Amino acid sequence: MKLPSESIPNKVLVKKEAETSSNYGTTPENRTLKESLNYGIVNIDKPKGPTSHQVADYVKKILNLKKAGHSGTLDPIVTGSLVVTLGNATKVTQVLLKGGKEYLCLMHLHKSVEKKEIEKVMNEFIGEITQLPPVKSSIKRQKRKRTIYYMKILEVEEQDVLFYVGTQAGTYIRKLCHDIGQKLEVGAHMAQLIRTKVGPYNEKTIHTLHELKDAYEYYKEGNEKELKKIILPVESAIVHLPKIWILDTTVDSLTHGADLNIPGISKLNEFSRNELVAILTLKGELVALAESVLSSEAIMKNEKGLAAVTKKVFMKFDIYPKMKK
């Protein structure tokens, strides 16, 4: 039972042995707190009541930031993981949507059904499904395809079914419960919903708004320890993407929006053509997101040519030196 974000590429191909200079940049874990506040992520345990936008706004006000975004809307009555991106990290939101989401759902059946029959019907929904969003939804109401990665029943008590479900972003769990009820020919509705995972973020990284506020108060008093525990580096959002590590002398041109050519590559994961890849420094800092023009196999075979087209730049320019001509 895995979300796409839990399949982490681990094979590294070395194109060119290289070292990074300690004179430029820093590893993500060694950023100053000021840098992290403009380049970080917090996983908030959204309470029942406020909208996702309101929670992101609370985070922005607590941390005294100009900009903050969130990773996907939760209904006011739904609780659980709401990933809030800070400052320049708001650009990574679309990547999180590709990582999948997990929910703990309590579904109420309108009549009792045997557990075996419930499991059988649920299994029919695993894979690609077609959904028509509810009448009350934030998007245009038209049929669309979504993927259910897994469903696992934890408990059945009379007409209540408690289960985990891993889904593609944009899947309506309320509608899923309704459709399961129809398939069982008894009817069903969603009684309660908690989001337990957003991409790589889960219960191990989650914090309440109160914890965030307390940590920021400690920070203002000179104690950074608690806030550093809560704010995660933007790189934590791209763990599931294939990566390309580039030379120090290549970094500056990409921060100005240039595309990546083969001579600037030190090492890389395996990937195909036209795949979304993360471009990192040799210290592990996220420089940009790009679309691969060549496969990793082709990059390893060639010494020249375009490797990837830059789509979004995260790193500020002038952190690394310009390439000498």
Looking at the annotation, which residues are catalytic?
Answer: 75
CA distance 154 to 299: 46
Tokens of 257: 């929006």
43: which residues sit within 8 A by CB, 6+ positions away? 81, 82, 83, 84, 198, 201, 202, 205, 206, 207, 232
Q: Could you tell me if residue 153 is left (phi over 0), alpha (psi between -120 and 50 degrees) or otherwise beta?
A: beta
Residue with tokens 């337990």: 196
- Cα 233 to Cα 16, 20, 35, 156, distances in angstroms: 27, 20, 10, 39
CA distance 56 to 289: 24
Amino acid identity, residue 310?
A: T
